[in-house]
Amino acid sequence: MKTIAVLTSGGDAPGMNAAIRAVVRAGLDKGLKVMGIHRGYSGLINGEIFEMDRHSVSDIIHRGGTILKTARCPEFKKLEVRQKAAQILKVYGIDGLVVIGGDGSFTGAKLLSELGVKTIGIPGTIDNDLAYTEYTLGFDTALNTVLDAINKLRDTSTSHERISIVEVMGRNCGDIALFSGLAGGAESVIVPEKDYSLDEVCKTILDGKQKGKLHNLIIVAEGVGGANELALKIEDITGIETRATILGHIQRGGSPSAFDRILASRMGARAVELLMEEKTGRVIGIKGGDIIDLDTNEALAIPRKFDEKLYEIAKSLSY
């Protein structure tokens, strides 16, 4: 292994920059030449490749987003496009590629590895939707961003004695909703993994009001969606003024938390070690506090398990 490259792909996530920094610095430390690729697979097939040094990653550990930019590149699903990508990497003398992204990006990396490029994936997505790892980069920061928003909404909600419905991101994964609901003391958490009853949600609200609760906070995962419609229905049933807030892309930005920076640094350093060991087609994760790596196909085949226990705790503490 002489030359490696790093790219970010799919939705950006806080902590991606810290991971880029770790890959670049760990690579240089091991005597490798390190290249950066702009705009994910799209930049790769357009040859947007440049050499990086220690200074290229100065002053980025605390920044959200990704200095390498990110993109979605649907054409990468075509074999001939991946063959072109492998050829371009060969021309640049790149033997190993670190891909920071989610499951789609990992699938692209695995397919690329079948064309002779050594690839290692680092999980970067706020959704926390990869079953093989307990945490993905960006999840913890997004969670704290949601919490900050919830705290603010609680102030105005309490003042007006209103119900507040907050829709959070996560695609089909309810983790951002569940974790923020628990940490934010929400009365109800609605996630795609669990059926919910509107009557039960309204009963919780009305019981709470009777007990003297000053506000009601309901977190809805985007995989369920429909926060505005839900607000109208709840207002209609309970007779209590209700407002919906869809947090949107604000959840993807911001300075990464200490947890995400440390995780990114550990994963970036491990990615370089794996490439030095000539490993390929693998993805990195964290389990029980340890950094792990698995074959990409095996990792992506693990079914996602919803944290029932945490859901029950959130429910039992909510009234």
**Bind-site residues for ADP:** 21-25, 154, 185-187, 211, 213-215
Which one of 48-56, 124-132, 195-203, 211-219 is the stretch in contact with ligand F6P (CB under 6 A)? Answer: 124-132
- Told to check if 104 binds ligand F6P by CB under 6 A, we report no
DSSP structure string for 4-68: EEEEE-SS--TTHHHHHHHHHHHHHHTT-EEEEESSHHHHHHTT-EEEE-GGGGTT-TT--S-TT
Torsions phi, psi for 176 (to 5 deg):
-60, -40
Among 23, 143, 169, 231, binds ligand F6P (CB under 6 A): 169
Q: Which residues are annotated as part of the binding site for substrate? A: 125-127, 162, 169-171, 222, 243, 249-252
Using an 8 Å Cβ cutoff, are 252 and 174 in contact?
A: no
CA distances from 197 to 188, 189, 192, 200, 306 (A): 11, 11, 13, 5, 19
Instruction: Give the C-alpha separation, 189 to 180, whole Å.
Output: 9
DSSP-assigned letter for residue 193: T
Q: Which is nearer to ligand ADP, 57 or 130 (CB)?
A: 130
CA 192 to chain CA centroid, Å, is: 17
Which one of residues 42, 125, 133, 144 is an interface residue with ligand F6P (CB under 6 A)? Answer: 125
Per partner kind, with CB cut-offs from 5 to 8 A, the member of ligand ADP, ligand F6P, none near residue 104 is ligand ADP
Nearer to ligand ADP, 3 or 172 (CB): 172
Tokens 């060991």 correspond to 277
Residue 140 annotated to the active site: no
| Catalytic position from the list 12, 127, 260, 293 | 127
Decide whether 127 or 260 has the Cβ nearer to ligand F6P.
127
Find the part of the chain contacting ligand ADP (CB under 6 A) among 103-111, 155-163, 222-230, 249-257: 103-111
By CB under 6 A, name the one of 8, 66, 105, 141 that touches ligand ADP.
Answer: 105
**Which of residues 10 and 181 has its CB atom nearest to ligand ADP in the complex?**
10
d(CA 300, CA 25): 28
State how far the alpha carbon of 125 is from the alpha carbons of 74, 104, 130, 170, 313, in Å. 18, 11, 9, 9, 25
As measured in angstroms, the least distance from the Cβ of 223 to ligand ADP is: 15
Two structure tokens written together for 26: 């760990």
140 touching ligand ADP, by CB under 6 A: no
| 15 makes contact with ligand F6P (CB under 6 A) | no
In the complex, the residues that contact ligand F6P under the rule CB under 6 A are 11, 125-127, 169-171, 222, 252
- Residues carrying an active site annotation: 127
